Amino acid sequence: MRRCGSAAVRQYIPAVPPNILIVRFSSIGDLLLTTPLLRALRVRHPQAQITFVTKASYAPLIDQNPRLNRVIGWRPERGLRALVGEVREVGGVAGFTHRLDLQDNFRSRAFRWMVGGRWTTYPKHRVARTALIRWKRDWYSDRRPVAEQYFDAARGLDVGPDAGSLEIFLPGPATVAAEQFLRGAAHGHWAKHGGLGLSRQLIALAPGTAHLTKRWPAHHWVALARRLGEQGNDVVVLGGVMDQAAGEEIVRSVRSGGAAMAGGAASAAGLDLATTAALLKRCRALVAGDTGQMHLATAVGTPVIALFGPTVEAFGFTPYHAKAAVLQRDLPCRPCSSHGGPACPLKHHRCMQDIQPGDVLAALRKLPR
């Protein structure tokens, strides 16, 4: 303890630099939401060893992060025993002074049991979430974003949230690949127009979601893209391989507008995560549902229009410390699930249907730069 004037101030001084093991297997948004904690750990403990375990498919989101000493990308087909063996190889399980589970599901608990030792996790508020979904009773006393709830797993490490947002560190090749895409290296049609987003404002659209009830209807995406093109904006559609068909439909709708379209469009759905992030960094804004793309845009500093339907802000997953607007409808049936589902339980899907393209355009005009 040290003294400051007449008041005693407790100062945390670890006997040795912490050796921290963190697990968060998935997914895009959840992984990016851990980055404020990683930043705080590195600032508070500059000599710490920090090992992060995630699925190999999501490792590109953090493998360039200088806050970490190592990232272990796990391939599920290899099984958890292989993962535990790899963790032992990089330093020995007994050497970890702190073990943080930022997933807290069946798989991560099995991993914890196999690794052994004392683990800490964070509150998932399962009872409050169930009460809000089933009975529409709001029992949430903890209104912190999930990015800040993660800090509860780091109790004992003397860290707290700062004013910063999410982070992603892009490798040079991703930035080059994004530049080539925009200049028309992959889409020669746009080379004669000077490339996509190089002389006009570029708006990113992310129509895909893992769960169908989180998706804004396809006809709304098409109408929005056409109006953006008519107003002189370029449009780039982002997403995974499963979103390629939706992306091509949106692009066709803009290109079929002919002379009425002052802007162009292209689909980058299916590109790798790092290149997608680099493309987002070049955009004026992103329009997306409650998805990982929304958090990816936040991590690169791109403003977001977030469309929320079956989920609500109380769950803690709105854009974190970002220039953003959340569009949603106040309906008695919301929320109907914690992650979305295959179909609207009431068959009307009004939570997403009622958000109109004009609402999105108005929100885009109001976004700060």
User: pLDDT tens-digit profile of 303-342?
Assistant: 999 999 999 999 999 999 999 999 999 999 999 999 999 9
Q: Is 359's pLDDT higher than 90?
A: yes
Q: What is the pLDDT of residue 181?
A: 93
Q: What is the pLDDT of residue 185?
A: 39
Q: What is the pLDDT of residue 176?
A: 95
Q: Is 5's pLDDT higher than 50?
A: no
Neighbours of 329 (CB within 10 A): 15
Q: Which fold has domain 173-366?
A: Rossmann fold (3.40.50)
**What confidence category does residue 199 fall into, taking pLDDT thresholds of 50, 70 and 90?**
confident
**What confidence category does residue 263 fall into, taking pLDDT thresholds of 50, 70 and 90?**
confident
How does the average pLDDT of the chain come out, rounded?
A: 92
Q: Is 187's pLDDT higher than 50?
A: no
Neighbours of 162 (CB within 10 A): 11
Q: Which residues of the chain does CATH 3.40.50.2000 include? A: 14-154, 173-366
Q: What is the pLDDT of residue 191?
A: 47
**Does the 14-154 domain belong in CATH 3.40.50.2000?**
yes
Contact 216, 203 (CB under 8 A): no
Q: If you average pLDDT over residues 62-71, what whole number do you get?
A: 97
Q: Is 193's pLDDT higher than 90?
A: no
**What confidence category does residue 3 fall into, taking pLDDT thresholds of 50, 70 and 90?**
very low
Q: If you average pLDDT over residues 338-347, what whole number do you get?
A: 95
> How much of the chain exceeds pLDDT 90, in percent?
84
* DSSP reduced 3-state for 60: helix
**Strand ranges for the chain from DSSP E:** 2-4, 7-9, 19-23, 49-55, 70-74, 98-101, 202-206, 234-237, 265-267, 285-289, 304-307, 324-327
**What confidence category does residue 262 fall into, taking pLDDT thresholds of 50, 70 and 90?**
confident
Q: How far apart are CA 37 and CA 67, in angstroms?
A: 10
Q: Is 260's pLDDT higher than 80?
A: no
Q: How far apart are CA 219 and CA 229, in angstroms?
A: 15
Q: What is the pLDDT of residues 52-65, one digit of tens each?
A: 999 999 999 999 99
